[in-house]
Structure 1
Amino acid sequence: MEKFMVSATAPHHDDFFHDNLGKFGAALGTKLELELEHDGMPANVEIGSHVWVEDPEVAWIDGIVINIEQDEVEVQTRDGKTVAVSLSRIYPNDVEAPSGGVDDMTRLQYLHEPAVLHNLSTRYEINEIYTYSGNILIALNPFQPLSHLYDVYVMERYKGALIEGLSPHVFTIADVAYREMIKEGRSNSILVSGESGAGKTETTKMLMRYLAYLGGHSGAEGRTVEQQVLESNPVLEAFGNAKTAINNNSSRFGKFVEIQFDKKGRISGAAIRTYLLERSRVCQISDPERNYHCFYLLCAAPPEEIEKYKLGNPKSFHYLNQSNCYELVGVSDAQEYVATRRAMDVVGINEKEQDAIFRVVAAILHLGNINFEKDEDIDSALVKDEQSLFHLHMTAELLMCDPLSLEDALCKRVMVTPEEIIKKSLDPHAAAVSRDGLAKTIYSRLFDWLVDKINVSIGQDPSSKCLIGILDIYGFESFKANSFEQFCINFTNEKLQQHFNQHVFKMEQEEYAKEEINWNYVEFVDNQDVLDLIEKKPGGIIALLDEACMFPKSTHETFAQKLYQKFKDHKRFIKPKLTRSDFTIAHYAGEVQYQSDQFLDKNKYYVVAEHQDLLSASKCSFIAGLFPPLSEESAKSSKFSSICSRFKIQLQQLMDILNSTEPHYIRCVKPNNLLKPATFDNINVIQQLRSGVSKIWNFV
């Protein structure tokens, strides 16, 4: 346990402590939360007191104390029920609180979970979607357009204005970051977090719009840096976002945007870094999800494009028809296709490159429709029928490679022995796996090319001394089934939680020194042990996973057994009952049970040599450029490259950047799972607010 100091003796301590409670709660965790809640109880609970009690349907319900028996009280709740609860489980209700709530949690008379929930709900009812908790902004997704909140007149009002005079807003966070950067000459960062569907992507776009407004070149013509930065969003969304069961426009990758400024505070360059694109989605989706948006946009392109690429209804493609969802409510894929092409123009992707990009997208759709059957004589794969043969030829035509070479690359593997070179035929299942592997490799290379192209087009400013970084990255995830992706995402969140704790404690120590307050130590939970469990070398989970991937005879079960043996006494590692290969990690936000059955396959990043040879020889320079010839050294080295280890390095580089900046935090919250406006689901919201060691106040 780490220690932190809290005053008990300063004469003005109570006011200072209450004013900064949002920040304290976030940092100090459960112990402080309980002390606050029970210190916040009225000294005398009496008959007639207004209180909050727990309720299984709405999380918390208000009521009035009607009887008191020693440590137990009877409460008549708003819905007419009478409940008996322990005195320690009731919380005071401030019936004199403003009817529209308060815009900063630290202004609540009682700062506890039911008061926070009620305040957010009250404000959401009147479309006040932003609320402060100290220096942290909580943003509730309205699930409806609120364009009046973001127009140029609103931007003008928030520009350089004092926080006290205006309602909470995402623009305030951006404005404070910009002013601090100008005044202190130090880089700032804004960390946007929350679960899928909470509104992170839209919040990030609003931040970028406001910073472009502050740092834009007034009266400039042509493609300005700020225009290119903004138009990078629709391009990356088309190729990196998809509909999931809980979000119609879910980012399936993490993103850190560095916006650079010159000495006059004008935007002078930018760089976009992306993390962990979900490769598996290209080939595998489930109802009611969709694949990446770009596939549907292309299927809704003008007739001449459809004819050129021999496309049709999305229902006719295997990579799209695994789900029954083909359209998004309120979205025209045809219009989005045109908008995406226009955005590509702005970010510097020329027409020839755009045609090549969509040629690749079309090729992947045709590739997915190549099916295989077993040869009658030997156990090897053949292209199944005339329809599959058509898609094989279309794929080859679009990728500008030889159809027979493509068929060989899908159905055969070359084995080199000291005596001879042998071509081994794959069975139909292995050929389908080969096909899907090729599709995932092509798509991920295309996505990386887009990011690199945007960065080159926008350009970086080598003379810039300051930047504002915006982090839009996946929140903590815990589903019924949790695989490799959730493991990487939750590892990321452990890193960010540690960064948050360290920053808040440093910030509060400086506040105390300034206020000349005497300090006492209060304990808080540190998550370094979880990070060691995951990433320590040697012997952490990632190291053991990489080791398993390098041994041909390893299986997910032998990998899991190694984990059980290694971490049997680790307090953060749990072996679940009735399973031979699952494992549970006690994360800062709660326990997550992982299914290890695909960990080894998903961690292996390699390009099949036959696929590499096929596409590097493409007559299309764009496609050949996605698969540059390997150096002799690379070709001789092991084909295996660990996705987890690469991601770990990327993540550490991100943390190094964040640690060199002054951070600001926005916590996005999803008010309901139906994605409907004006609907506030208490249980759903409270689960998001509770995620983390710091319970209510862990807003990052």
Structure 2
Amino acid sequence: MAPSMAGIREGVRILFDLGYMKDLMGEVCSVRRDGTQVRSTIDGEVKILNIKNLRRVRVVGPVEVDGVDNMTYIGNILVTVNPYVDLLIDGLDVMGTYRNQPIASMPPHVYGIAEGMYQNLLHDGVDQVVIISGESGAGKTEAFKRILRHLAASSEGDQITWGSAAQGVLESTPLLESFGNATTLRNDNSSRFGKFVEVFFSGPSIIGARVTNYLLEKSRVVQQSPGERNYHIFYQLLSGLDKDTKDAHYLTSISDFAYLQYGKASKVASRSDPEALQVLLNCWSNLRFTGEDMDLCLRIMSGVLHLGNVEFGERDGPNPF
């Protein structure tokens, strides 16, 4: 596999492994599809090596950030720091600049990782994988959405067709966030579950996807820490549904349900629950959920909230049991 790896560019010093059971120091001379040329001193002799598969690469400097101070590459790993502000480097115009570009030729960005995966898939025809990890609030959810957005746009040639598999993949993210994300002290949109997402391609086009969820924080439904919220879906329904729909499902206001009172943080300045509900309803419709599906979901959510209001007490007199 050609080593068009993130962060490996001309002038960068690297530690690399050729299978000699020790790391070698070298300087990258050029990066091409047929291999990476590295200048290194081996046994006292300066050699120019053409390496087709760099293993255990570690960049030791200099690492350029190219004006984007919160992102950098270390080998084929993108390291990011969540700035908690919009840096205006995630729009469609920026994403387009990464299309069909070698990953080492562009500034560090999650779009570069996504494009590298897409190009490797097309040229090598083998499965690609990306692992997004970090502590709470690191930006994993946003990175995931940007990777999906780039893959979908690449699959559809920048114009994502309504009803296409690529659009369906993108429409799934608001649904997952509504039911699986919550506000915590460190993150207003924290994923409280893990997910393994498989995106299936036929040639250059997305033909489907599968999401496997695991480790949902079930305890959050019944108890939240001070300053935190339950899952977004409850607040979205109670603040965004019209009165007739709420009445039909015995829903009133946030203050009426015990499961939403523990954290004492019903509103979050950075989120609009009514707007998020409209996005969710549109996604439901676009993903071809029927009216019966939506009604069943509302009944389940209402049932969960009302169960939280059930109280148990002692009964006077003899125990009938």
Using the size of structure 2 for normalisation, the TM-score is 0.80
* Distance in structure 2 (CA, Å) of the matches to 1:367 and 1:12: 74
Conservation of the 8 A alpha-carbon contact between 1:217 and 1:266 = no
1:287 aligns with 2:188: no
Pick one of 132, 137, 153 that aligns with 2:73: 132
Residue type of the alignment partner of 1:108: P
Q: Shift in Å at residue 362 of structure 1?
A: 1.1
In the alignment, what sits opposite 2:115? 175
* Distance in structure 2 (CA, Å) of the matches to 1:7 and 1:221: 48
Residue type of the alignment partner of 1:171: Y
1:326 aligns with 2:266: yes
Q: Shift in Å at residue 305 of structure 1?
A: 2.2
Conservation of the 8 A alpha-carbon contact between 1:7 and 1:13 = no
In the alignment, what sits opposite 1:6? 22
Q: Can you list the C-alpha shifts for 1:288-337, whole angstroms capped at 9, x where unaligned? A: 11111001111102222222223233122111101110011121111111
In the alignment, what sits opposite 1:257? 197
The alignment-based identity, stated in percent, is 33
Q: Shift in Å at residue 258 of structure 1?
A: 0.8
Q: Assess, with a 3 A threshold, how the Cα gap between structure 1 residues 12 and 179 changes in structure 2: closer, same or farther.
A: farther
Instruction: Report which of the two structures shows the higher radius of gyration computed on alpha carbons.
Output: 1
SS in 2 for 1:268: strand
* Distance in structure 2 (CA, Å) of the matches to 1:4 and 1:239: 50
SS in 2 for 1:180: helix
Q: Shift in Å at residue 127 of structure 1?
A: 4.8
Q: Assess, with a 3 A threshold, how the Cα gap between structure 1 residues 191 and 153 changes in structure 2: closer, same or farther.
A: same
* Distance in structure 2 (CA, Å) of the matches to 1:378 and 1:174: 69
Q: Assess, with a 3 A threshold, how the Cα gap between structure 1 residues 222 and 151 changes in structure 2: closer, same or farther.
A: same
* Distance in structure 2 (CA, Å) of the matches to 1:7 and 1:335: 53
Within 5 A, what are the aligned runs for 1:393-432? Answer: none
Q: Assess, with a 3 A threshold, how the Cα gap between structure 1 residues 168 and 7 changes in structure 2: closer, same or farther.
A: closer
In the alignment, what sits opposite 1:108? 62
* Distance in structure 2 (CA, Å) of the matches to 1:216 and 1:176: 17
Conservation of the 8 A alpha-carbon contact between 1:106 and 1:134 = no
Residue type of the alignment partner of 2:293: E
Pick one of 227, 241, 244 that aligns with 2:181: 241
Q: Assess, with a 3 A threshold, how the Cα gap between structure 1 residues 12 and 351 changes in structure 2: closer, same or farther.
A: farther
Judge which range, 280-289 or 126-135, deviates more.
126-135
In the alignment, what sits opposite 1:267? 206
Pick one of 82, 85, 90 that aligns with 1:144: 85
* Distance in structure 2 (CA, Å) of the matches to 1:189 and 1:258: 9
Q: Assess, with a 3 A threshold, how the Cα gap between structure 1 residues 143 and 12 changes in structure 2: closer, same or farther.
A: farther
Residue type of the alignment partner of 2:61: R
* Distance in structure 2 (CA, Å) of the matches to 1:7 and 1:245: 42
Conservation of the 8 A alpha-carbon contact between 2:152 and 2:160 = no
Structure 1 unaligned blocks of 5 or more: 26-104, 110-118, 381-424, 426-700
Conservation of the 8 A alpha-carbon contact between 2:78 and 2:110 = yes
Residue type of the alignment partner of 1:369: N
Residue type of the alignment partner of 2:73: Y
In the alignment, what sits opposite 1:223? 163
In the alignment, what sits opposite 2:106? 166
Q: Assess, with a 3 A threshold, how the Cα gap between structure 1 residues 306 and 242 changes in structure 2: closer, same or farther.
A: same
Q: Shift in Å at residue 370 of structure 1?
A: 0.9
Within 5 A, what are the aligned runs for 1:112-123? Answer: none
In the alignment, what sits opposite 2:238? 299
Q: Can you list the C-alpha shifts for 1:464-519, whole angstroms capped at 9, x where unaligned? A: xxxxxxxxxxxxxxxxxxxxxxxxxxxxxxxxxxxxxxxxxxxxxxxxxxxxxxxx
Structure 2 unaligned blocks of 5 or more: 1-18, 25-41
SS in 2 for 1:132: strand
Residue type of the alignment partner of 1:375: R
Pick one of 317, 335, 345 that aligns with 2:275: 335
Q: Can you list the C-alpha shifts for 1:322-379, whole angstroms capped at 9, x where unaligned? A: 1110011121111111111111111221222112101110111111101011111246
Residue type of the alignment partner of 1:293: H
In the alignment, what sits opposite 2:38? none
* Distance in structure 1 (CA, Å) of the matches to 2:158 and 2:186: 40
CA root-mean-square deviation? 2.8
* Distance in structure 1 (CA, Å) of the matches to 2:46 and 2:229: 56
Conservation of the 8 A alpha-carbon contact between 1:197 and 1:250 = yes
Using the size of structure 1 for normalisation, the TM-score is 0.38
Conservation of the 8 A alpha-carbon contact between 1:131 and 1:137 = yes
Q: Can you list the C-alpha shifts for 1:200-246, whole angstroms capped at 9, x where unaligned? A: 00000000000001112676754111111001000010001111221
SS in 2 for 1:181: helix
Q: Shift in Å at residue 145 of structure 1?
A: 2.0
The structure, 1 or 2, with the larger RCO (C-alpha pairs under 8 Å, 6+ apart) is 1
Aligned residues: 282
Residue type of the alignment partner of 1:279: K
